[in-house]
Amino acid sequence: MKHIFQKGTNEALPTVVVFHGTGGTENDLIPLAEMVAPGASILSLRGNVSENGMSRFFRRLAEGVFDEEDLVFRTNEIRDFLNEAAEQYGFDASNLVALGYSNGANIAASLMFHFEGAFKGAMLHHPMVPMRGLKLPDMNGVQVFVGAGRNDGMVPAANTEELIGLLEGAGAAVKANWEHFGHQLTRTEAEGARRWFGEHFLG
């Protein structure tokens, strides 16, 4: 997978794995990761799927309708890549925190839905429920920040609330940050994620 690895100055911190939104690249969210998790190593990925020339992490059949077969395939592909990258760059594959926006938040959530211990924590900005009908792995001890819009035209608030309920039902501790700026990833939302990361991982 196309990616950027940026070694941090504090090896005790989790490596932050970054997943862009539709049409983004591996460069887009590095400044956000640096702001949220100062000193942490960063592994930023580019999705392997192209939709009308726009990079994504998995296919969709329509807006808000995921190609579940491709989602499962891409979830496994990324899991394998993360393990390979950990060997290549010398970071701990069991000490990762995800940072994803929109399509990137959805693939991060899918990794959490499919693999126990995929991440120690996750910052999910404007995510949706990736799949339904799964028996979720044990997420006790996993910290999750969810940034969402009450008036998000792409992600209904009820969908976000359903995702939060599923994560909490699996044992995760979820901090929800609700705003009224649609699907935008705002500065105040980013600052909320920074405070959350500091509380749980810089402590």
Residue 70 among the catalytic residues:
no
Residue 152 among the catalytic residues:
yes
Instruction: Compute CA distances 113 → 38, 59, 89, whole Å.
Output: 27, 18, 26
* Cβ atoms 57, 47 nearer than 8 A: yes
Residue 200 has what DSSP assignment?
Answer: I
Q: Active site residue: 41, 102, 114, 125, which one?
A: 102
Question: Which residue's structure tokens are 């990361």?
Answer: 197
Residue 200 among the catalytic residues:
no
The angle that helices 103-114 and 68-89 make with each other, rounded to 10 degrees, is 80
Q: d(Cα 151, Cα 157) in Å, to the nearest integer?
A: 7
* Cβ atoms 55, 75 nearer than 8 A: no
Q: d(Cα 3, Cα 26) in Å, to the nearest integer?
A: 6
Neighbours of 129 (CB within 10 A): 21
Q: Active site residue: 3, 67, 183, 200, which one?
A: 183
Residues 6 or more apart from 119 whose CB is under 8 A from it?
17, 96, 97, 98, 108, 111, 112, 142
**Annotated catalytic sites, by residue?**
102, 152, 183
